[in-house]
Each structure stands twice: as C-alpha cells, then as structure tokens.
Structure 1
C-alpha cells in the first residue's frame, strides 16, 4: 500500500499553492523545497516541488514502517483526501498518464471506472480498483520467474523475429534506449528451411546483441488450427528455439538460484497494453512508436527516452506508406516498453 500512499501524497501538490517557499529571514535568499508529512508516522517527509523531483522520490522512497495496517483513508487528513479525490475524479487521461506511477493501463483504468461507476468516493476504492485489474506476470512472461529477479534487471534486450529479419531494442531500467536496430536474414523462408542456413543467420544476429540482464523474445500468437499459416509458425518456432539455445548460458544441472536469462513475452499482451488489438489480430504499432519518439523530445518525463542519434536515424522510418519495413523495429521497442510498464502494474 505504501506505493499508493506515496502517489496520493504527490497528487496533493496540485491542490497546493506555493510549492516553493523562501528560506527563513537572515539566511540566503534561496528557494527551498516544501514537504508533506506522512500522517502514518509523521516522520517521513515527502518533497512536493515539481513532478521531476516527485517522480524520482516515488520510485525510491521507503515505505512507512508504522502504518499498522491502517486503511489508506486513515493515512491522510480530511483536507488531503478531498484534494486527492477531486483531482482523481476530474483529471483527464493525459493528466493522469503524466504521473509516472499511473502510466500504462492504470490511468486508463481510473478513467474507465469513473465513466462506468461514477467518481471515487474513498481512497481505498482507488486501491481496490487497481487490485482487480493487475496483470499477473505469468500471463505475459514465460517461463515463470521470480518477480524480484526481473525488478533487479539493469537492462533488457527485446527481440522480435520477422519473415526476413530480426529486430531488437536494448532498454535500461531508466527507460533509455541504448540500442535499436534490425538485421536482414536472407535465408529465412527460403527453399527447404535448411537448419544450417537458419543457424548462420540467427548466429550472425546473436553476435551483434549487446549484453543484458534478460533477453525477451516475442511469442507469436499464430493458432495451430490455422493450417494455412503453418509454414510461418514453423519458421517462428525454429528461430525462437535457436535464439533460446544460443543466448541461454549452458548450466548443467540448472541451479535454482540462477534465473533464466532468456524469456518469452506474449505478443498479444503487448498489443493489449498499447490498444493495438482488433479482435484477436494485432494492428501496426508504427503510430504509437512515432508518438513515443515525439514525446521524448517534447515532454519532460516521456515514457521512454531516445538518444539524439537514434531519433535522427529513424525520424522518417515509420511514416504512413513507408516501405522501409520497420514493423519488427516497432514491435521490439513496444515490447520493451510494455515489459517495464506491465512489471510496475503487477
């Protein structure tokens, strides 16, 4: 509950005036941070001077140790509860999504709940709503791994296989894109699917991948009942198996305290996270990637940050009608963003 307490305390700042105050008379005329005291213990000071400082604090703050299992509403004064609920019940989707802890589905869930059931009447009802919509790790990550291993990852490499290329995005925990590219694989879907030819292409890609805590390989959602797509499914499974074999370190026998380094991420989970699903089919993510790239330049706290070099390289790569074949690049980036955001929601 402490994360929600920290977030709700941050919301109060929007209802307060004078987030910066001058220092006491006789001291240097500099601006100082104002603080809110946590009413659980009256010792934890929560800075409220700007969303940049606030978001960093929310991510690193320690939980209050004296909450004693109290209801969330009891942790705030009546005035604070009024301010928080007023903002949660009236803020737009964009305003809610600008708060780091509400990115992804959380802000959408709040707006949808307001539309269907009316305004929130208590802070505990906000927490209850979030508990109901949490996504279990097992629903989008295979094989199942301990959550703490994923949270300790310093960076991930998101890998997506296409019909003639493999793309990857290397993203660290600070949501900075470290590497983002694709490699043509000329032997894919050629002739009789020669294993040696496939291995040459996949090995060439693996040699280019940067080191990371985990490698996430997209798990396609092609149904085995669709026999017309069986050649594509066989191709995807072949490449996936080779990536697992080449990237996973050889440990015999496996040690229980060492997590698997290569994981599958469900393609449909990424599609639902970004609203790209139409029925059981997933649409292009090019527009979403263009939006993420634009936000990285125009917003102080974008969902993901790009180095200038990558922005210049791909600024015209995902335009409507482009034949550059960037779908795999889009999917690799979106998979990395969805991984971190879904991990926060679990």
Structure 2
C-alpha cells in the first residue's frame, strides 16, 4: 500500500488546455454576464420611459378633467339665482338601482323657465333631495350624447309644472334617459333628448305658448287635459322594409323599437309579424302589422309625431328618405299653421303619410339645451 501511494505521487498530471485557459474562460463568462445585465438594464429603462410617459399623460388628463369640473361647477353656480322662498322637493329614487339620497342646495333655473299666462309662478327649488350618486348600475353616456344632471332635470320639470307633481311620475318620464355619472362623485345624469322629448307646446286661451312635459302614454297634462288616445296601429306589406324604415325615422323623435314578434308569420292562424314603437317597453304608442292587402287612406289622413327639436325634424325627414320614403314636404316653418310650426312630411314605402313637427321656438329650444 505505501508503495502504490509513492508511485502515484511520482506521476505528473498532463492537460491539453493552454496555460491561462481558465482565466480566459472566466473573463468571457464575466463579459457575457455584463452584456446580459446591460441588456436587462436597457429593457427596464425603456419600460420605465414608456410607463413614465403614460403616467404623464394620465396626470395631464386628470388635470384637464379637474379643470373642466371646476369650470362646470362655476358655470352652474353663476347660472343659478335664488328667487323667493324655497320649497323642499322630494324626487324619490331611481328604480334601476338602490341609490343613496343626499341633500343638496340648488336654486331655481330661471333661465329655463318659460313665461305663462297663468297666475301661478314657477316654484323655486333651492332645496332638492336628489338621487345624486354615481349610479353604477346605469348605462354610461354614449359618445357625443348631450346630458344634464338628474337634479337639474327634476328642477326644470318641477318649475314648469304643477307643484304637486310626484317624483315617481318624473322618474317614469326620464327612465329611458338615465345615465351614470360622467365624473365619479358628480351624480347621475339624464340624456337631454329624452328630457326634451317629454315636452310639447300647446296654446292657452289667450294665445300664449308654453312648453309642458308629457309623460309617454299618459292620460293627463297638468291635470287639466284628458288624452283618450292610447296607441295607433297600421298595416304594411313588408315587415323587413318597414322595420328598417320606422326604426331609423322614429329614432330622432325619441321612439325606439320596443316590440318585435320576429320573422315568423302565419296569417291562417292569425299570427302576423308585428312591430311596436315607443319611448320604452311599457309605452308602445304605434303598432305595425304585416298584411299583403294593405290599403292606406288617401289625402286628408296622416300621422303626426311631436319632435323635441327642429334638428330632430330634419333628421326624421333625412332618415325617412334614406330608407325608402318619399318626400312630401321638406323641413321648414309652416306659418299658416303657426309662426313656430317647424315640420317635415314624408310618405312611407306603403303609402302612409307621416309628419314630424316641432312647435318650440328657437329661443325656447336654446334655453332648454343650456
């Protein structure tokens, strides 16, 4: 055993690697490591620059939104003037969401009030209980859609109508137009078109023209006028053609497709394809049935729709012509009907004569939009 150990100690180890190989390999590994670290640093710096740019854009947008909120609040504060003794108004709550009710001070919107010949004066709304939360369950405003705070919408309706108008009725009027808050914490909003669609002009005994909201399918206007008309039904030859025509033409007037029986039709069983239009599903104002032997009445009969604005009349006429209707009178004022009688006339693809009319003056229309 000692002899073997002595023999092994006498053997010299041999390697084919050149001298300094291990040092060169170590330096190469270090170089590669530094290159990887440097590349990683470059990636992180690029990501940091991108994130910083996005953060700067977000901060800029926050500043712009904050400035816009301050500007709108300043405009609202300056446009609301206190007049007379205020009366608390309870506007209830929206049925679509369980919303907290808070107390918020607001003055009467005198710029939106329309003078009347009656002895009653618009009620001041310096104190209004408003469902003024973010309304997360409500749909957001559509791009380019004009909206107004629900608090202000309540005030406008309250100032222009009887003081005993209940909140449930107002909520029913505005239900299709409720939108969630534009800016968190600013309160829910109401689509302006829906608010205006609840108004129609009528003549008082002395000829003074005022504007009062009419809830869809209602039976009373300011508790003085009974409306016995429930809905209107007409017949058409082609379900698909009429569906496209009326859906487009009635949209500017605040009427949408609220019922569609579908494409199946069997007249032998009494089942015909049917369409229904109205402001919402609970108020179907016009029914359309498909029959092959339709015979619309001749001159002297037509269906007239109230339009919230003159632009709505123009849009109604344009859409009707675009979808197969025939021009029967371009948009414009018919002074022989009234100085503010802005109307347009078309004939639908089956021969039904239709009219859209806005009787609101330009001054009243401008005041309602502000």
Task: Report the structure, 1 or 2, having the larger strand content.
Answer: 2
TM-score (norm 1): 0.22
Structure with higher Rg: it is 2
Higher RCO by CA contacts (8 Å cutoff, separation 6 or greater): 1
